[in-house]
Amino acid sequence: MPDFSRPDHLPHLRPDGEPPHSSWLPRHRHGTTPQMIGRYPDYDVLVEVDSWDDATRKVVLARLEPPGPLRFFSEQEEPTLRAFCDTVMAQDSEPRVPVAEFVDDKLAAGRLDGYQFADMPDDRDTWRLVLAGLDESARDGHGKAGFADAEPETREEIIEAFSHGQLSGGSWDRLNVSRAWSVVMRAVLTGFYSHPWAWNEIGFGGPAYPRGFMRLGPVSTLEPFETPGASQEDPVRAVAEGEY
């Protein structure tokens, strides 16, 4: 049975450098996680909403509202944006954290991060150039109509090159490609990991005011509302076979 005290599932320690297929993980049972996979099947951070202060509750719960239509990106850009956000976060099915909408809202509102590399355009222009570049790479390198039309493997191949700053030509030549990767990923990761579904997936305790945390270790680091990680092990069989 998978034993979380062992690190065998971590990409660094696997011969192919790839994580195992997500079927080794339990299906989420309580609340929602992205794609309903996670390590804490009975953990739902939202059960604790009553223990959060008003200001925090408002900000976090707003993320669960159905997202409106895109405001910053055009209809032409939308499929590429979605395909990019899905690929880099490995969101291949519902339920999805609405990352594309988060990015769109941030850029539409001009909520930028306070710095711009001297050899790069404004973040908003960077995003547009990246989406155009992804389409060009899918077209020129792989004969597809656009990035969104490419198979998952092709998209991953393009993203892998992007992550190493190894794309060039057309729109890419107007960017420092490695920096563009850090600019777009900063926004994508913030969108994904600010969402309570992602907190359920990773077992994060979430907002903690005014309640705070008491269990800092060493005997246990679990608050009364947190649950330990689990595998998709069948408990009945495990008991029958004497593993417990």
Site for other proteins, residues 48 to 67, rule: CB under 8 A: 52-56, 59-60
State which residue, 72 or 204, has the beta carbon closest to other proteins.
204
Torsion of CA 204, 102, 87, 33, to 10 degrees: 30
- Min dist CB 237 to other proteins, Å, is 24
Question: Residue 210: what are its φ and ψ, rounded to 5°?
Answer: -90, 5
Q: Residue 202 interacts with other proteins (CB under 8 A)?
A: yes
Per-residue tokens: 203: 């077992």
Q: Residue 236 interacts with other proteins (CB under 8 A)?
A: no
Q: Measure the CA–CA gap between 44 and 31, rounded to whole angstroms.
A: 5
State which residue, 17 or 236, has the beta carbon closest to other proteins.
17
Q: Are 57 and 49 in contact (CB under 8 A)?
A: yes
In this chain, which of 28, 31, 32, 38 binds other proteins, going by CB under 8 A?
Answer: 38
In this chain, which of 10, 64, 108, 240 binds other proteins, going by CB under 8 A?
Answer: 10
- Min dist CB 169 to other proteins, Å, is 22
State which residue, 160 or 241, has the beta carbon closest to other proteins.
160
Per-residue tokens: 190: 């913030």
In this chain, which of 27, 29, 71, 215 binds other proteins, going by CB under 8 A?
Answer: 215
Per-residue tokens: 222: 């679990």
Q: Measure the CA–CA gap between 203 and 36, rounded to whole angstroms.
A: 13
Q: Residue 12 interacts with other proteins (CB under 8 A)?
A: yes
Q: Measure the CA–CA gap between 198 and 97, rounded to whole angstroms.
A: 8
Q: Residue 211 interacts with other proteins (CB under 8 A)?
A: yes
Q: Are 201 and 39 in contact (CB under 8 A)?
A: yes
CA distances from 71 to 79, 104, 219 (A): 14, 7, 50
Closest to 124 in 3D by CA, of 140, 106, 136: 106
Residues of this chain, 163-192, that bind other proteins according to CB under 8 A: 163, 185-186, 189-190, 192
In this chain, which of 1, 19, 143, 168 binds other proteins, going by CB under 8 A?
Answer: 19
Q: One-letter amino acid identity for 85?
A: C
DSSP 9-40: TSGGGSTTS-PPPGGGSPBP-SS--GGGB-S-
- Min dist CB 38 to other proteins, Å, is 7
In this chain, which of 87, 137, 154, 171 binds other proteins, going by CB under 8 A?
Answer: 87
- Min dist CB 21 to other proteins, Å, is 9
State which residue, 6 or 75, has the beta carbon closest to other proteins.
6
State which residue, 54 or 75, has the beta carbon closest to other proteins.
54
Q: Residue 225 interacts with other proteins (CB under 8 A)?
A: no
